[in-house]
């Protein structure tokens, strides 16, 4: 029953966010030239990670179309470990540089105001994400909830390569690799 309640709560929230999308598109237009340059730098850093992980993935043996669940999981683990090994020097802020963190907080504040902000915080803090490590190069636990990002916010946040996803964990915003589950970077105090 609790998960059904969460599902409907999340769906209502997403509908409200979609309804507010036209307002959020205007928020993107108020960016200064300097902020637009910061977004381009952020997107470049995210793409650099993508290129690295793609080059690693290309070197791995390909899975057959008849691969079993065990083989798929083993491939995922091998891939994750290879990326971790290639990123031993990775640290928080490699992608979420301080200037972009400030800008992303501003974007979130502009998109979510009043009741929308309260609803966003409620949805994020009700999610079962306790125990997710806030550590770079560590996997996001598969057993933990993954909150879908509101469409209005995705329209305004910097664009990510297809291999990366934004994820809220408490008050923090994470970049998570979609395929191998690694936490690529994170920023604190993302929610207003």
Q: What is the DSSP string of 38-107?
A: HHHHHHHHHHHHHHHHHHHHHHSPPPPTT--HHHHHHHHHHHHHHHHHHTTT--TTSSS-HHHHHHHHHH
Cα torsion angle, 123, 128, 130, 134, sign: negative
pLDDT at 134: 92
pLDDT at 3: 53
How wide is the angle at C-alpha 178 spanned by C-alphas 25 and 113, nearest 5°?
30
pLDDT at 120: 79
Question: Facing residues of 168 across strands?
Answer: 173
pLDDT at 4: 47
How wide is the angle at C-alpha 44 spanned by C-alphas 84 and 141, nearest 5°?
35
Q: How many residues does the chain have?
A: 192
pLDDT at 8: 46
**CA-derived radius of gyration, the chain:** 18
Question: Facing residues of 167 across strands?
Answer: 174
Running along the chain, 192 residues long, what does each successive block of 10 average in pLDDT?
A: 50 46 48 93 97 95 91 93 96 96 93 81 80 91 85 91 94 93 95 82
- 136 — phi, psi (to 5°)? -70, 140
CA separation for the pair 116, 128 (Å, rounded): 21
Q: Could you count the other beta carbons within 10 Å of the beta carbon of residue 120?
A: 23
Every domain of the chain and the residues it spans: 2-187
Question: Facing residues of 176 across strands?
Answer: 165, 183
């Amino acid at each position: 029953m609790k998960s059904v309640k969460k599902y409907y709560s999340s769906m209502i929230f997403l509908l409200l966010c979609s309804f507010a999308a036209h307002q959020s598109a205007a928020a993107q237009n108020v960016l200064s030239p300097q902020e637009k340059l910061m977004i381009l730098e952020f997107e470049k850093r995210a793409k650099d990670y993508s290129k690295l992980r793609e080059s690693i993935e290309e070197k791995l043996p390909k899975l057959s179309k008849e691969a079993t669940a065990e083989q798929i999981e083993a491939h995922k683990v091998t891939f994750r470990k290879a990326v971790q090994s290639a990123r031993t020097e990775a640290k928080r802020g490699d992608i979420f540089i301080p200037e972009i963190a400030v800008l992303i907080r501003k974007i979130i504040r502009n998109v979510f105001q009043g009741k929308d902000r309260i609803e966003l915080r409620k949805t994020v803090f009700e999610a079962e994400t306790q125990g997710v490590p806030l550590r770079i190069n560590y996997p996001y636990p598969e057993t933990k909830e993954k909150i879908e990002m509101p469409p209005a916010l995705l329209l305004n946040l910097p664009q990510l390569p297809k291999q990366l996803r934004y994820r809220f964990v408490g008050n923090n915003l994470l970049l998570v690799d979609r395929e191998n589950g690694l936490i690529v970077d994170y920023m604190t105090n993302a929610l207003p």
